[in-house]
Amino acid sequence: MHDLQAKAILSADNGMNLYRGCTHGCIYCDSRSTCYQMGHGFEDVAVKRNAPELLEAALRRKRSRCMIGTGAMSDPYLPLEKTERLTRRCLELIDRYDFGVTLLTKSDLVLRDLVLLRSIQSKTKCVVQMTLTTSDESLCRMVEPHVCTTARRVEVLLRLRDEGIPTVVWLCPILPFLNDTEENLRGLLSCCFEARVVGIVCFGMGLTLRSGNREYFYSRLDADFPGLRQRYERAFGDSYFCPSPRHGSLMRLFHTECAKRGVLHTPESVFQYLRRFEDRRDQSQLRLF
């Protein structure tokens, strides 16, 4: 871990990353790709120490309130968040200035901030997005070794459901020859439906590989799944998208089951929902009249 003094914190579409790098150890992580020009070891997480101050200044300058997003490149609930508390401090500011928020995480540490999430949700909109990849706990520990397993993440989703916090699941990646089965997909969808998620983001049954994350992914296959790297190389070469041989049938199953239950199931519809700011304070005031 090392400190970083950021020059700005919000992107053009109101996203922010409070940390840079990750210690979850997920074998497939796209954030390892060299195109992001990280400039330091991936596990040597950069802590944007001045992020709360930058965020407060940015929120004060906003002419209208909107959704603020975090977690696209680095999980806001890395283990070091327990002591660094950047996410907590930024949530406090988002709550104070009545903005909405979306959080993308794999960690149960998000429940630490449940009081803040409820407060934001009561006034605007607070959405917790959780990544799920496999219903097999043993496989989960191998492909996502340093973060809570799928079963615990589902417990978090159920708790958020009971607390009235809307949730979205990222169903990715589906790794060819590892978790690309109908059994796995049905298991994950069952969890999503039980948690009453608003939507599920799925770009396809497969994963993306490019320079940086391809090399790391293959090194983990060599260590934990001997012979599977060669199968990938034969099937996909240097392709960016590596689709499951079952891509078509699994996607049909995914869309059909989600449509039956009224769950948003295209990236466009889910992202539209995530971007849409809702002002419950004004609605409450209107009801008084």
Three-class DSSP labels, 58-94 = HHHHCCCCCEEEECCCCCCCCCCHHHHCHHHHHHHHH
**Residue 171: which region, alpha, beta or left (left: phi > 0; alpha: psi -120 to 50)?**
beta
Neighbour count for residue 230 (Cβ, 10 Å):
12
Closest to 95 measured CA to CA, from 71, 74, 115, 75? 115
Q: What are the residues facing 67 on neighbouring strands?
A: 100
Phi, psi at 43, each rounded to 5°: -80, -10
pLDDT band at 282 (very low <50, low <70, confident <90, very high): low
pLDDT in tens, 165-204: 999 999 999 999 999 999 999 999 999 999 999 999 999 9
Q: Is 138 exposed, middle or buried (0-12, 13-18, 19+ CB in 10 A)?
A: exposed
Residues, the chain: 289
Res. 286: pLDDT tops 70: no
Q: Is 208 strand, coil or helix?
A: strand
Listed by start position, the domains of the chain span: 2-288
**Is domain 2-288 annotated with CATH 3.40.50.1010?**
no
Output 102 or 72, whichever has higher pLDDT: 102
Report the DSSP pairing between strands 15-16 and 67-70.
Answer: parallel
pLDDT band at 39 (very low <50, low <70, confident <90, very high): confident
Q: Tell me how far apart the alpha carbons of residues 132 and 174 are, in angstroms, rounded to a whole number.
A: 9
pLDDT band at 283 (very low <50, low <70, confident <90, very high): low
Residue 48 neighbours by CB under 8 Å, 6+ apart: 4, 5, 6, 9, 17, 18, 19, 20, 54, 86
